[in-house]
Structure 1
Amino acid sequence: MADPEVQRIVQAVSESRKYRSVAPRLIAHLAELEVSKSRRFREAVKEVKNRLHQTVGAYVEETPDYDVWLARLQAADTPDARRAVCLDLLGAHASSHERLNILPTFYETLLGDLPPIRSVIDVACGLNPLAIPWMPLAKDAHYVAIDALDDLAIFLEEALPLFGVSSRALSDDVTLTAPIGTFDVALIIKAIPCLQQIDRSTGSRLLKDLDAACIVVSYPVRSLGGNDKGMRDAYAASFMNLIGAFDWRIERFDFADELAFRVFKTPRVPEA
Structure 2
Amino acid sequence: MNHRLELPEERLEAEVKSICKRYKIAPETVRDILEQNFSKQPQLVQKILERHNHEDVTRFKEYKQVIKETKKQVYYSLRQYHQDQNQEKQLSTQLKELLKTQASSEQINQAVTELLLTHVSTQERVEYYQAFYEQLFSLIEPPTAVIDIGCGLHPLSYPFNNTKKPISYVAIDKDNTAIEYLKTFSSHKQPEWLMPICADIAQLEWLSYLNAEAKAWDLAFMLKLIPVVHRQNKALLAKLAEVPARQILVTASTEAMTRKENIMRREDKVLREFIRVANKKIRGHFRIANEFGYLLEN
What's the TM-score, normalizing by structure 2? 0.62
Alignment of 1:68-147 (within 5 A): 68-74=90-96, 75=98, 77-133=103-159, 138-139=164-165, 141-147=167-173
Give the structure 2 partner of residue 214 of structure 1: 247
State the secondary structure of the residue aligned to 2:232. Answer: coil
State the 1:215 CA deviation: 0.7
CA 1:85/1:226 → structure 2, altered by over 3 Å: closer, same or farther? farther
Question: Are 2:193 and 1:166 equivalent residues in the alignment?
Answer: yes
Deviation digits for residues 154-197 of structure 1, max 9, x if unmatched?
33123125466622111111134453323111111112222233
Give the structure 2 partner of residue 199 of structure 1: 233
CA distance in 1, matches of 2:145, 2:237: 21
Give the count of matched residue pairs.
210
Question: In the alignment, is the contact (CA less than 8 A) between 1:111 and 1:136 conserved in 2?
Answer: no
State the 1:134 CA deviation: 7.8
State the 1:112 CA deviation: 4.1
Question: In the alignment, is the contact (CA less than 8 A) between 2:238 and 2:277 conserved in 1?
Answer: no
Coordinate RMSD, CA, aligned? 2.8
Which of 256, 259, 267 in structure 2 is aligned with 1:235? 267
Deviation digits for residues 181-231 of structure 1, max 9, x if unmatched?
23111111112222233311223430x2111111111111111235133x1
| Shift >6 Å, 4+ stretches | 134-137
Q: List runs of 5+ in structure 2 lacking aligned partners.
A: 1-74, 211-215
State the secondary structure of the residue aligned to 1:218. Answer: strand
Give the structure 2 partner of residue 20 of structure 1: none
CA distance in 2, matches of 1:199, 1:225: 21
CA distance in 2, matches of 1:142, 1:226: 37
One-letter amino acid of the counterpart of residue 84, structure 1: Q
Q: Higher helix proportion, which one?
A: 2
Larger Rg: 2
Which of 250, 255, 265 in structure 1 is aligned with 2:288? 255
State the secondary structure of the residue aligned to 1:196. Answer: helix
